């Protein structure tokens, strides 16, 4: 009997990499959000929140990763790329994802206060826009949520 091997490169695998980035943010006393961008089963960019460190409100994990991916590919478009991020993207990040023409966004936990993919808005799949991004939610949701909750509990 032949046993089919499971593909080790699945959403869980890549979200673990994004989670490692979130842990880097936590070590820097940043809101622990991490992101990776994958193309052809390899990470082409990584990012984690650096808002406090850079004193820049746009330095979200997704923005850092998008900029790095564009630099890696020497392209302004990230077609056939997937963004993995531990927290549902905000409107700014969802807008950048659309401008970059990402193929998909996979996120860990929802953001009921600022989420622009499912929670408050559905920017990535809005038919009025000229590009759509497939959204997959809830990958490693409990771990991603727990990390954020622990951070904010410690801050209070």
Q: At what angle do helices 11-27 and 141-155 cross, to 10 degrees?
A: 10
pTM of the entire structure? 0.94
pLDDT at 1: 37
Helix (H) or strand (E) holding 104: strand 104-109
Please state, as a whole number, how many other Cβ atoms lie within 10 Å of the Cβ of residue 61. Answer: 31
4 is catalytic: no
Strands 104-109 and 42-48: unpaired
- Percent of the chain as helix, strand, coil, to the nearest 5: 40, 20, 40
pLDDT at 156: 84
User: What averages of pLDDT result for each successive group of 10 residues across the chain (156 residues)?
Assistant: 52 97 98 98 97 98 98 98 98 98 98 98 97 98 98 92
Out of 62, 75, 88, 141, the active site residue is: 62
pLDDT at 114: 98
């Amino acid at each position: 009997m032949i046993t089919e091997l499971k593909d080790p490169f699945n959403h869980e695998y890549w979200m673990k990499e994004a989670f490692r980035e979130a842990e880097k943010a936590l070590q820097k006393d940043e809101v622990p959000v991490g992101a990776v961008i994958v193309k052809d089963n390899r990470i082409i960019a990584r990012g984690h929140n650096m808002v406090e460190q850079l004193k820049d409100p746009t330095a979200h994990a997704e923005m850092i990763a998008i900029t790095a991916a564009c630099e890696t590919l020497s392209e302004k478009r990230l077609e056939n790329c997937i963004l993995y991020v531990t927290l549902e993207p905000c409107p700014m990040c969802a807008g950048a994802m659309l401008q970059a023409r990402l193929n998909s966004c996979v996120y860990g936990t929802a953001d009921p206060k600022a989420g622009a993919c499912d929670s408050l808005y559905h920017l990535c799949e809005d038919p009025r826009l000229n590009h759509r991004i497939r959204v997959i939610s809830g990958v490693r949701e409990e771990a991603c949520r727990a990390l954020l909750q622990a951070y904010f509990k410690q801050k209070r």
